[in-house]
Structure 1
Amino acid sequence: MDKKLLAMLACPVCKGELKLNEARTELTCYHDAMAFPVREGIPVMLASEARTLSTDERLDKH
């Protein structure tokens, strides 16, 4: 995913910062504990498409 695009994106729920999880191909908002999928290089920024982070994922931010 393009780093410039990532810098412009924000969580659609809280408008907070998103972190790229390259291993899972998703953008993560730790504030809302949501992960948005990236499909074919395109972020799917819909809350209905996001998954909820597990407790372990929330604790292991970095």
Structure 2
Amino acid sequence: MYRGVAGRLVTEAGRVRRGVERAALGPRLRRFSGAKDEAQPPFDRSLLRFLVCPLSKRPLRYEPETSELINDELGIAYPIVDGIPNMIPQEARLIQKDTDVSTTPAQAVQTQLGASAFRYNGNGTLCRT
């Protein structure tokens, strides 16, 4: 009984290894180089149905010129890098002109919505209560 199981495991392991080696040599292998000759992949607009601002939980608007997701209510812009939205509040930028330059997006949200609406969790991330 064990002999048959062990034999099948060895056979399947060999097949998987060969499949991985072939896939690594295939044409889909992405080349990494210092040159930025490739355009950034486009943002999939269908994601807007699911993405919300992590601070206010409100829907976001896509701005193709700057490749950012905008929260108009709070005046925050989340960057899109390589087609992937960076939804980290500390990485967002403020877009309102009347906000102090030294203010972070998280501080601006606390000011607008009230500091009691937010708390910091164990890893230092600002969360809505």
Structure 2 length normalisation: TM-score?
0.41
Rg (Cα) greater in structure:
2
Q: How does 1:16-55 map to 2 (within 5 A)?
A: 16-55=58-97
**Which structure features the higher share of helix residues?**
2
Moved over 3 A (4+): none
State how many pairs are aligned: 56
SS of aligned partner of 1:38: strand
Segments of 5+ residues of structure 1 without an aligned counterpart are 56-62
**Which structure features the higher share of strand residues?**
1
Structure 1 length normalisation: TM-score?
0.83
Q: Percent identity?
A: 35
